[in-house]
Amino acid sequence: MKVVLFSFALLMGSSACHSTPTEQNNQSEPALVQTGGSISVTAFEQQMTLPGVQILDVRTAGEYQGGHFNQALQADWLNRSEFKERVQYLDKSKPVLVYCASGVRSADAMYWLRDNGFQNVSNLKGGLSAWRMEGKPLETKPTRPEMDVAAFNASIKQGTILVDIGAEWCPPCVKMEPVLQQLQKEKGALYQLLKVDGGIDIGIMKYLRSEGLPTFIVFKNGKETWRKQGLVDLATLAAAVQ
């Protein structure tokens, strides 16, 4: 009986002093720690000033036009294909602030972003309703009048025109801006750039049968000669305006 008790004591001591293989693996490979969550209006406002922060409005384009934060990008959570396509251009290594009207859609979007590799995502608790309830203004930019088809056709009638259908709130459009600026430096004498706003010039988008942002179209003396939707490299754009 003494031998049995002594052996049992040795076994318990060994278990207390040595971790199992699973425990050793957990110690050597700590789980990634995600940051963020649903935060107050005050905290959200403070984080908006952080360097490199990305502000994402997950409402519809129509809601966005009714009032939004300056510098906010837009990707409609209810249009899942649009949402996935646009957020792929966000930087997963930088903080993301998401918001909607009441905080419900943006909370769902936050969890999706976290599940898909974004490590620092915060949601505005209560959405823009809570923001307005605390007397905070929306820093919106005034919109210009919508371009009509007659004015558009007059603009593309002569010469080589590169039409850029995009928007400041569209992530891939923002990504294309440095490319367009470089193209202007290198080939600016060959063409004119005409910007069509995807949130304002809806009639022109329908007229051109544009189905996504950004879309680039080249017209030469009023005739369409080239079209491409999505990201385009500098060499391809340069060849199109030659």
Residues carrying an active site annotation? 100
Torsion, Cα 98 164 67 39, to 10 degrees, reads 10
* Residue 35: strand pairing partners: 120
Q: Which two tokens stand for residue 149?
A: 């088809």
**Where do we find the tokens 């969890």?**
111
Closest CA to 119 of 93, 85, 97: 93
Torsion, Cα 216 219 225 227, to 10 degrees, reads 10
Q: Which two tokens stand for residue 39?
A: 């935060």
- Type of residue numbered 164: D
Closest CA to 148 of 195, 194, 199, 203: 203
Long-range contacts of 220-224 (CB under 8 A, 24+ apart): 220/159, 220/160, 220/161, 221/157, 221/158, 221/159, 222/153, 222/156, 222/157, 222/158
d(CA 235, CA 237) in angstroms, rounded, equals: 6
**C-alpha distances in Å from residue 2, one per residue of 9, 13, 16, 127, 135:** 11, 17, 21, 69, 77
